[in-house]
Structure 1
Amino acid sequence: MRSDRTGRSGRSPLMLKLAAGAGLLFLHLPILIIFVYAFTTEEKSYQWPPPDLTVKWFAIAWERPDVRDALWLSVRTAATATAVALVLGTLCAAAVSRTRFFGREAISLLVILPIALPGIITGIALRSAFSLAEIPFSFWTIVLGHATFCVVIVYNNAVARFRRTSGSLIEASMDLGANGFQTFAHVILPNIGTALLAGGMLAFALSFDEVIVTTFTAGQQATLPIWMLEELVRPRQRPVTNVVAMLVVAVTFLPILAAYYLTRDGDQVQGQGK
């Protein structure tokens, strides 16, 4: 058995491995059960093990217009909120990391605050603001609600990368006659591009499966997670709900996995705790 210089063993104790395995099983076994029930032939009740397996529910889920409408709304909302977050988050990160001004730390705190607050507080605050301003609930109210925390994701990724980018590169570009746009396109963007891409993927994943804030800002509209909640309360075809759950897991897991591989060589991925 190998040991490091401090004399400690290079292998983890057996009990620690068992505890880690039990923790992972506790977290992921319910998800695997949902996947299995997406193939069951039972429509109203669950039996274990499932009496028989079928793939018909995937076709049924796709043919239901309420599922397609909810999916399309979730995709549009997540894409738009991510685009807004990329612009605002990058601008805030550039201002905070590259310049010094009075109140900079306070502004940084205010930008990060939405992801630290409970979602229900953010939802109630937004709903109250929309009501006071007499803004009707629509697609854009959902986008604004999601953008409040998506901006934080992009901001944390971008500001960490900005702080790792040498200011001398920007100064050299300006000294050589490049204007602001050329400096951004040829110097800044190549250095922060992967951080922005990772932040955008994380923001899209979090927006796609957001429930609490959406509940307060959607009105009568139903994104895919809201549709799932309604189906769990008043189920019609339970396996269809499980099929949709598989889709939500895939759409949220793949961007997060891609973001991890994009930034796995550093500690610049921040703010994914929500």
Structure 2
Amino acid sequence: MRLSRPARVTLGVITAIILVIVYVPLFVVLVNSFSTSTSLTWPPPGFTFEWWVKAFQSAGALEAVLTSVQVAIVATIIALVLGTLISFALQRFAFFGREAISLLVILPIALPGIITGIALNNFFRTIMGVPLSIWTVVIAHATFCIVTVFNNVIARLRRQGTNLEEASADLGAGVWTTFRLVTFPQLRSALLAGGLLAFALSFDEIIVTTFTAGSGVTTLPIFILNNMFRPNQAPIVSVIAVVLVLVSIIPIYIAQKLSGPADQKR
């Protein structure tokens, strides 16, 4: 489709405005992490690395990072297993209600986080009678992390078809041999991309975590929220926020690189 010059200029201006709105606040957070002011005045009166040193020496921050990593890893593993199994079931088999199940699998990522959080909180405490803990957080994160794995895997299954698997079966290979030597190698990049996205999604989740975490569970986003308005903590929070952005960007960038070439080749 060809666009006229005025249309291209208009789209360019709109894109630039959107990028400015999104990334200027992030740039401000980055600059404030080096500010000498404890109240985050703008422009910063000076610059220092003091807050970065204190942030990496903070026992509470380091414990929150460890908790977030543990939750994200376990939730990602659960999402990889369940998301892959659901993808195979919905793509390779025809049965009554398949489209409805597909919608139900994708729905958690579309629902507002506060709705999901309230629903899971009521489920754990009222219906199941389970005390909130790190495991309720893991289960809650897995419910929406499954979607990222499911979307990546089912898209790859749709593109690759079943010709190679049928050829493998015709040559005498069993189900597990075919999966190990034929199917899995074709899914590796999709699984890795889905897993990285699931990890990033879980690592910085705060709304659902707030409703499903026990009193002793503090993930990194909750740590930031709890310390944001405390005296002399704002610069340290800015440092942690910058680290959180970097940790989230890296797996998303890698996932995009893994998915992009495969999509272009097919």
TM-score (ref. length: structure 1):
0.91
**What residue number does 1:32 align with?**
27
How far 1:165 moved relative to its partner? 1.4
Do the aligned partners of residues 35 and 182 (structure 1) sit closer, same or farther apart at CA in structure 2, a change above 3 Å counting?
same
**Does residue 230 of structure 2 align to residue 230 of structure 1?**
no
- The 1:87/1:10 distance shift into structure 2, 3 A limit, reads farther
CA distance in 2, matches of 1:32, 1:161: 36
**Corresponding residue of 1:145:** 140
**Partner AA of 1:121 in structure 2:** I
- Cα distance, 1:80–1:238 mapped onto 2, change above 3 Å: same
Distance 2:231 2:89 in 1: 49
> Once the 2 structures are TM-superposed, how far is the Cα of residue 207 of structure 1 from its aligned partner?
0.4
| Aligned equivalents of 1:233, 1:50: Cα separation in 2 | 18
Match of 1:199 among 190, 194, 200: 194
Partner of 1:136: 131
CA apart distance, 1:30 = 0.5
Q: Who is 1:108 aligned against?
A: 102
Task: Return the alpha-carbon distance in structure 2 between the equivalents of residues 96 and 13 of structure 1.
Answer: 41
Structure having the higher helix fraction is 2
Provide the rounded CA distance (Å) in 1 between the counterparts of 2:122 and 2:231.
Answer: 31
Aligned residues: 262
What's the RMSD between the two structures over aligned residues?
A: 1.8
Percent of paired sites with the same residue: 49
List structure 1 runs of 4+ shifted beyond 6 angstroms: none
CA deviations 1:58-84 (Å, max 9, x no partner) are 111111110011000000001110000
Q: Which structure 1 residue ranges, 5 or more long, are not aligned? A: 269-274
Q: Which residue of 1 aligns with 2:172?
A: 177
Alpha-carbon distance in 2 for matches of 1:15, 1:124: 42
Runs of 5+ in structure 2 lacking a partner?
Answer: none
Indicate whether 1:57 and 2:51 are aligned: yes
Q: Cα distance 1:223–1:166, how it changes in 2: closer, same or farther (>3 A)?
A: same
Deviations 1:3-60 (A, max 9, x none): x8x6x558964343233212211110010000000001112x1222211111121111
The yes-or-no answer on 1:23 pairing with 2:18 is yes
Which digits, 9 at most, give the CA deviation of each residue in 1:190-219, with x for residues without a partner? Answer: 111111111111111010010110001112
Report the AA paired with residue 193 of structure 2: A
* SS in structure 2 of the partner of residue 87 of structure 1: helix
